[in-house]
């Protein structure tokens, strides 16, 4: 009798465990703004193989663990600038690594469109993961149509079906919008809020929960989130420092660039009450984390290519060209907000490139520095290439003092963005305003300024173009001059300083 009772109780327990309780728990792992596939700082931080290991570990605990990329990964990187087999890498290394990592959902960042249309299409067709965008499309004549990945339209919205062991089954819908800060001929950007709202509306009646995967400036994320009361989480990118920002109805989450951290969002959804709770944990990716062996093989293969190919550009990329008293600050948060020691060196090297006593100062946009890391005390040529993967020329520009003042003020008011200016021999005084070599700037005087060619394209500072009446003369260096490549200029300058 007792055996029968025990049997029956056991059967009752089994039946209960198979009963749908209406509650399901799942995890979203978020990365954004990843330009380096290998660890940084001598192996201390980041590394996509380590991220893969974290995801694997989480899946052992909860099979419903999913991996997301919130944009900016195909460009820029030093690897991406190299040519392999006569063709620019242009983000192929990242696609190979992400394929090995089995990403679940990926959206565009503004830097994806640094690639040519042909390059970008190749990356789409090499992808084995799902792309999504609700506001960013391919221009074909007068039409704006979805980009295609392997012959299929990039999703306008995406629905993920999730089921747990007791049978709770829900559909989670995703929409995605990208900042329009990189205008190129082959891309159409729809208004982020308008298109985001439309995409949400198309998901609302067909899903249990809607989440945003975005690549916007923070203020745009907040503005969008505040129009969507039923969206509790925007997994975002674009800013390079981690943040979890409350909005009217939920939160905006962004991890640190280059996978120094990932966000692990644990979501619990009650299909009966339709309520969701979200616990967001910022998880460090550092040298204590093991590497997924499969992904590490892919990373190591590309790192070997980098080492071999860079020798075609630099005679000795590992040569120490400068020894400083302390590490140099190459983090984005610093380079886009304050004058840094690295900014001092880069701009001094730009000015020195002309070996011209007429140079009054030098400027470069902080967004040109792409390492987002501390440089060691001993700097190699390769380090400078990592800081400045875009390269580009240094121009010698003669300009009126009135325009120079306007440019410096614009950089100051755009602190925190890539338009913030790193400077040489240009200071600000509380009493006299902007100074050149300690002297006030006179509006009608002509000053000779070394600046990156990028700045004179008007992307970061819209009015700074050759057509501006404040520009008197632009000198573009020839190939044999150090100024023909900003990296060459800085390397030669540092070598001279280290003697």
Instruction: Note the Cα 32 to chain centre separation in Å.
Output: 6
What's residue 12's pLDDT?
35
Residue 72, classed as helix, strand or coil, is: coil
What's residue 16's pLDDT?
37
| Complete DSSP assignment for 267-294 | EEEETTTTEEEEEEEEEE-BTTS---HH
- The values of phi and psi at residue 267, to 5°, are -110, 135
> H-helix or E-strand containing 306?
helix 293-310
Give whole-number Cα distances, 366 to 47, 99, 111, in Å: 24, 32, 16
Give the span between the Cα atoms of 175 and 440, in whole angstroms.
Answer: 51
Asked if 213 and 194 touch (Cβ cutoff 8 Å), the reply is no
In tens, the pLDDT along 5-41 reads: 223 333 333 333 457 899 999 999 999 999 999 998 7
In tens, the pLDDT along 446-472 reads: 999 999 999 999 999 999 999 999 999
- The values of phi and psi at residue 292, to 5°, are -65, 120
Mean pLDDT, range 283-293, rounded to an integer: 98
Give the span between the Cα atoms of 228 and 200, in whole angstroms.
Answer: 8
Give the span between the Cα atoms of 464 and 229, in whole angstroms.
Answer: 41
What's residue 271's pLDDT?
96
Confidence of residue 249 (pLDDT cuts 50, 70, 90): very high
Tell me the percentage of the chain whose pLDDT exceeds 90: 83
Q: Is pLDDT larger for residue 397 or for residue 17? A: 397
Mean pLDDT, range 308-325, rounded to an integer: 83
What's residue 452's pLDDT?
97
- The values of phi and psi at residue 174, to 5°, are -130, 140
What's residue 499's pLDDT?
58
What's residue 210's pLDDT?
98
Question: Is the entire prediction scored with pTM above 0.95?
Answer: no
Q: What is the mean pLDDT of the chain?
A: 93
In tens, the pLDDT along 83-97 reads: 888 999 999 999 999
Confidence of residue 4 (pLDDT cuts 50, 70, 90): very low
Confidence of residue 355 (pLDDT cuts 50, 70, 90): confident
Residue 352, classed as helix, strand or coil, is: helix
- Is the pLDDT assigned to residue 186 strictly greater than 90? yes
Give the span between the Cα atoms of 129 and 452, in whole angstroms.
Answer: 37
- Is the pLDDT assigned to residue 73 strictly greater than 90? yes
What's residue 8's pLDDT?
33
Considering only CA atoms, which of 215, 182, 187 is closest in space to residue 117? Answer: 187
Residue 401, classed as helix, strand or coil, is: helix
**Both tokens of residue 107?**
């959206």
Give whole-number Cα distances, 168 to 153, 171, 193, in Å: 30, 10, 33
In tens, the pLDDT along 118-150 reads: 999 999 999 999 999 999 999 999 999 999 999
Confidence of residue 311 (pLDDT cuts 50, 70, 90): confident
Q: How many Cα atoms are found within 13 Å in the side-chain-facing hemisphere of 48?
A: 33
- Is the pLDDT assigned to residue 194 strictly greater than 90? yes
Which domains are present in the chain?
20-296 (3.60.21.10), 315-497 (3.90.780.10)
Confidence of residue 189 (pLDDT cuts 50, 70, 90): very high
Confidence of residue 498 (pLDDT cuts 50, 70, 90): low
What's residue 1's pLDDT?
32
What's residue 10's pLDDT?
32
Q: How many Cα atoms are found within 13 Å in the side-chain-facing hemisphere of 130?
A: 16
């Amino acid at each position: 009798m007792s055996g029968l009772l025990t049997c029956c109780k056991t059967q009752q327990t089994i039946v209960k465990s198979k009963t749908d309780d209406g509650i399901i728990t799942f995890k979203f792992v978020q990365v954004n703004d990843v330009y380096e596939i290998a660890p940084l700082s001598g192996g201390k931080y980041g590394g996509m193989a380590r991220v893969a290991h974290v995801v694997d570990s989480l899946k052992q605990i909860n099979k419903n663990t999913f991996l997301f990329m919130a944009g900016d990964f195909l460009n820029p990187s030093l690897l991406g600038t190299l040519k392999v087999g006569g063709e620019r890498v242009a983000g192929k290394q990242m696609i190979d690594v992400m394929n090995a990592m089995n990403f679940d959902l990926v959206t565009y960042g503004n830097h994806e469109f640094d690639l040519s249309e042909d390059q970008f299409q190749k990356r789409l067709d090499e992808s084995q993961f799902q792309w999504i965008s609700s506001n960013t499309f391919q221009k074909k004549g007068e039409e704006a149509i979805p980009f295609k990945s392997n012959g299929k339209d990039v999703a306008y919205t995406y629905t993920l079906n999730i089921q747990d062991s007791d049978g709770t089954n829900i559909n989670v819908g995703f929409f995605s919008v990208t900042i329009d800060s990189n205008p190129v001929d082959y891309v159409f950007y729809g208004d982020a809020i308008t298109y985001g709202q439309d995409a949400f509306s198309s998901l609302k009646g067909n899903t249990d929960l809607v989440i945003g995967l975005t690549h916007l400036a923070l203020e745009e994320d907040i503005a969008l989130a505040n129009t969507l009361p039923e969206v509790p989480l925007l997994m975002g990118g674009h800013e390079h420092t981690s943040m979890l920002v409350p909005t009217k109805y939920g939160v905006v989450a962004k991890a640190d660039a280059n996978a120094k951290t990932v966000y692990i969002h644990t979501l619990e959804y009650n299909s009966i009450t339709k309520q969701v709770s979200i616990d967001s944990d910022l998880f460090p990716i550092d040298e204590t984390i093991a590497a997924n062996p499969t992904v590490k093989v892919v990373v190591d293969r590309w790192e070997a290519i980098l080492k071999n190919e860079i020798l075609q550009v630099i005679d000795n990329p590992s040569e120490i060209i400068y020894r400083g008293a302390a590490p140099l600050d190459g983090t984005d948060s610093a380079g886009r907000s304050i004058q840094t020691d690295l900014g001092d060196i880069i701009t001094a090297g730009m000015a020195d490139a002309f070996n011209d006593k007429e140079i009054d100062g030098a400027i470069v946009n902080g967004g040109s520095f792409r390492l987002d890391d501390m440089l060691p005390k001993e700097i190699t040529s390769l380090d400078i290439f990592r800081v400045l993967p875009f390269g580009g020329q240094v121009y010698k520009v003669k300009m009126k003092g009135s325009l120079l003042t306007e440019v410096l003020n614009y950089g100051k008011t755009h602190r925190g963005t890539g338009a913030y200016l790193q400077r040489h021999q240009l200071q600000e005084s509380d009493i006299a305003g902007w100074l050149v070599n300690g002297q006030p700037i006179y509006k009608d005087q002509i000053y000779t300024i070394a600046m990156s060619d990028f700045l004179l394209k008007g992307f970061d500072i819209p009015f700074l173009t050759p057509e501006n009446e404040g520009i008197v003369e632009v000198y573009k260096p020839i190939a044999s001059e150090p100024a023909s490549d900003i990296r060459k200029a800085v390397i030669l300058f540092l070598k001279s300083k280290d003697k």
